[in-house]
Amino acid sequence: MISIKGVNKSFGTVVALKDARLEVKEGEIMALLGSNGSGKSTMIKILSGLYNPNSGSVEIDGKKVKIKSCVDAHNEGIATAFQDLSLVPTMTVIDNLVLGIEPLGKFGLLNRVKAVRMAKDILDRLGVVCDMDAYVQTLPMSTQSMIEVAKAILLKPKVLLLDEVTASLHHDEIQLLFNLVRELKAQGIAILFVTHRMGEVFELSDRVTIMRSGITVIDEDTSKLSMDDIVYYMTGKRPDAGKAEINLEMKEERELILDVKNLKQSKVRDISLQAYKGEIIGIAGLQGQGQPTFIRTVLGLMKPEDGSIIYKGKQTHYKSPENGIKNGMGFISGDRNKESIFQHRSIEENIYAGKAATQNIFKYVTVKEMKQFSLDAINAYKIVAGNVKDPATSLSGGNQQKLVVSRWIALAPDLLLLDDPTKGVDVHSRREIQQILRASALKGMTVIISSSENEELIEISDRIYVFYEGEISGVLKKEDMSMEKLVAAQMGMTSEGNGV
């Protein structure tokens, strides 16, 4: 059993954890919940040895321990499967699985036979089929996630931390994983898992710990909590029943902003899609069915191998995103850190980035201009920020994403492309972003949004295209959107009712 108390952790001026606590007993499955900025990721990183807490104590089986590195954590019996994967992409599956615990043979050389045996055993239990000598980088994300979990289990831990590992997994894989987790629970292992998906909480966990703004708000048996309770503890507010009005008015003559015909580009095999002015088009589908590729090809990051893209009536021959953006497109990525946020630059500069990209490079910009531009955006989109000169990383994840959204909306693009923008964003910020998108669509902006959250798509889209294996398996109109139809299309089952 593991218990952590009185934990404080700050990064410069940002307080991530304030006197936080957490306790998981042997043979117990604990779900750790919290919005972005709640401190739950920080908590996991402290337990796994990646972060150094400013204060606090960790006890394992009643004994005080000091965790100064990941090696310490491993020695104390704590293993972690990380959300952003601790696998080394340029090394093979088997090298990764035994990294740090390499079985040795004669003369201190690696014992490959033993390593293969270890690896095969755990991969079989997880139902993972892959070439052990394949470079991790070449495998699909869901397989990589499973290997990440396998790696943690190979350490034979007493405490297993699973940080959002189901994000990339298929339904079947999730079930296999949950079965294994239940086996481990029966063996007396304490399991802590972090997730954004309510369904998983109720399906798997015995107890729930909820964090908010760096404090541990409550820990309680899962059976004693309702969904509304959980949302309340996470946000401090009762979930608002008021969903924004759906704009059902469809004008007769609508301008066809984007007309994609038979697009082919790597994962995208044959996609045709139309988007009219003012529409919000949702793109649904399991991970890796070609959605990000589609969006980036429209933007101009990749060149189509075949097919055509007609934007605002003209065939596009884009060579780089800059072409698309110059023609009125905007792009918001779900991977903020890699694709949208400039971490060392200030909030002000981050907001101004879109505008900076579209102006003549020799234009003179005054200090006041930039400041005004960013203040306007902060006010318009209710971004919670301190000083605009602070680095962008001082904002919480949700606010960072709102910053990125505002960066683009301020430029009033004709077509806004979003690739899973609310992934890992807290409920509150998510709702605000949705409202911003709806308001902009009403003003005439066309939105294409790809998302892994089906509820979100159903709530916000006028029409939903479902991607399956690089093709469209279904198009749902507002009137006949339902979760069952969506999931069916995602699995590749097309039926008469879904006109394509």
Q: φ, ψ for residue 314 (rounded to 5)?
A: -120, 140
CA distance 254 to 323: 25
Q: Which residues in 143-182 contact other proteins (CB under 8 A)?
A: 151
Q: Check residue 82 for interaction with other proteins (CB under 8 A).
A: yes
Query: Nearest Cα to 33, choosing from 220, 190, 160?
Result: 220
In terms of C-beta density within 10 A (0-12 exposed, 13-18 middle, 19 or more buried), how is residue 223 classed?
exposed
Closer to other proteins at the Cβ: 64 or 363? 363
Closer to other proteins at the Cβ: 259 or 349? 349
CA distance 399 to 404: 9
Which residue of 31, 139, 169, 437 would you call a contact of other proteins, by CB under 8 A?
139
CA distance 81 to 79: 7
Quick check: 93 and 137 in contact, CB under 8 A? no
Q: φ, ψ for residue 69 (rounded to 5)?
A: -160, 175
Instruction: Please report how close the Cβ of residue 341 comes to other proteins at its closest, in angstroms.
Output: 7
Q: Which residues in 343-362 contact other proteins (CB under 8 A)?
A: 343-345, 349, 352-354, 356-362
Q: Nearest 5 degrees, angle CA 431-CA 432-CA 437?
A: 100
Closer to other proteins at the Cβ: 187 or 360? 360
Q: Check residue 51 for interaction with other proteins (CB under 8 A).
A: yes
Give the x/- contact pattern for other proteins in 55-74, rule: CB under 8 A.
Answer: --------------xxx--x
Q: Which residues in 97-136 contact other proteins (CB under 8 A)?
A: 99-102, 104, 108-110, 131, 133-135
272: number of Cβ within 10 Å: 16
Contacts of 151 (CB under 8 A, 6+ apart): 81, 86, 87, 96, 97, 99
Closer to other proteins at the Cβ: 241 or 361? 361
Helix (H) or strand (E) holding 174: helix 171-186
Instruction: Please report how close the Cβ of residue 224 comes to other proteins at its closest, in angstroms.
Output: 35
Which residue of 6, 57, 121, 137 would you call a contact of other proteins, by CB under 8 A?
137
Closer to other proteins at the Cβ: 74 or 277? 74
Which span sits near other proteins by CB under 8 A: 184-192, 271-279, 309-317, 322-330?
322-330
Which residue of 35, 38, 41, 340 would you call a contact of other proteins, by CB under 8 A?
340
Q: Which residues in 189-248 contact other proteins (CB under 8 A)?
A: none
Which span sits near other proteins by CB under 8 A: 209-217, 247-255, 321-329, 457-465?
321-329
Give the ranges where 187-317 is alpha helix by DSSP (H): 198-204, 227-235, 291-299
Give the x/- contact pattern for other proteins in 254-293, rule: CB under 8 A.
Answer: ------------xx--------------------------
Q: Which residues in 290-309 contact other proteins (CB under 8 A)?
A: 299, 301
Q: How many residues does the chain have?
A: 500
CA distance 2 to 21: 11
Which residue of 172, 255, 339, 455 would you call a contact of other proteins, by CB under 8 A?
339
Which residue of 187, 366, 484, 499 would you call a contact of other proteins, by CB under 8 A?
366
Which residue of 35, 36, 48, 451 would you call a contact of other proteins, by CB under 8 A?
48
Closer to other proteins at the Cβ: 248 or 367? 367
Query: Nearest Cα to 89, choosing from 147, 161, 27?
Result: 147
3-class SS of residue 170: coil
**Can you say whether residue 111 is alpha, beta or left, with left for phi > 0 and alpha for psi between -120 and 50 degrees?**
beta
CA distance 190 to 342: 38
Amino acid at 85: L
Instruction: Please report how close the Cβ of residue 337 comes to other proteins at its closest, in angstroms.
Output: 8
Closer to other proteins at the Cβ: 238 or 326? 326
Q: Check residue 88 for interaction with other proteins (CB under 8 A).
A: yes
Q: Which residues in 384-413 contact other proteins (CB under 8 A)?
A: 407
Q: How many CA atoms lie within 13 A of 234 on its CB side?
A: 26
Instruction: Please report how close the Cβ of residue 339 comes to other proteins at its closest, in angstroms.
Output: 5
